[in-house]
């Protein structure tokens, strides 16, 4: 399966980011997401299969859970799935179709 995205899909992802920034008080801080105060929510990029089996994504899955709830949302690329953990929300920015394939143009859209 080809994991590249059309220009329209990349634009959809950028639109999601723009909407999030408008709707929330976004503050970028440099802290360990596993140690920060519960008053802070955070977002990170994930594939729509929600495998989260390596690296930071795996650590987030283990610490914050919610995988079953995320899968029930049937997200597509450019969707945002959130779970509530205590007083914070964890936002899963769906930037690619599957875990395999590494970083692609859609992920780079989130970084700009």
- pTM for the predicted model, two decimal places: 0.69
Q: How many domains does the chain have?
A: 1
Compute the radius of gyration of the chain from its Cα atoms: 14
**What is the residue range of 67's domain?**
7-21+36-111
Please, which residues have CB within 8 angstroms of residue 5's CB and are 6 or more apart in sequence? 13, 77, 96, 104, 105, 106
Inside any domain, residue 27:
no
Nearest to 26 by CA among 14, 38, 18: 18
- Which residues in the chain come in under a pLDDT of 70? 1-5, 20-21, 101-112
| CATH code, 104 | 3.40.220.10
User: What is the distance between the alpha carbons of residues 73 and 69, in angstroms, rounded to a whole number?
Assistant: 7
**Residue 4 confidence (pLDDT):** 66
**Residue 61 confidence (pLDDT):** 92
**Residue 3 confidence (pLDDT):** 52
Inside any domain, residue 73:
yes
**Residue 104 confidence (pLDDT):** 52
Edge-first strand listing for the sheet containing 88-96: 42-47, 88-96, 80-85
**Residue 102 confidence (pLDDT):** 55
**Residue 27 confidence (pLDDT):** 78
**Residue 70 confidence (pLDDT):** 92
């Amino acid at each position: 399966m080809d994991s590249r995205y059309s220009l329209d899909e990349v634009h959809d992802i950028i639109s999601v980011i723009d909407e999030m920034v408008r709707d929330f008080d976004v503050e970028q801080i440099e802290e360990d997401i596993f140690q920060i105060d519960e008053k802070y929510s955070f977002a990170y990029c994930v594939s729509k299969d929600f495998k989260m089996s390596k690296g930071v994504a795996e650590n987030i899955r283990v610490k914050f859970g919610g995988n079953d709830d995320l899968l029930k949302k049937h997200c597509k690329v450019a969707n945002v799935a959130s779970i509530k953990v205590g007083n914070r929300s964890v936002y899963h920015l769906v930037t690619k179709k599957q875990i395999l394939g590494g970083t692609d143009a859609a992920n780079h859209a989130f970084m700009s």
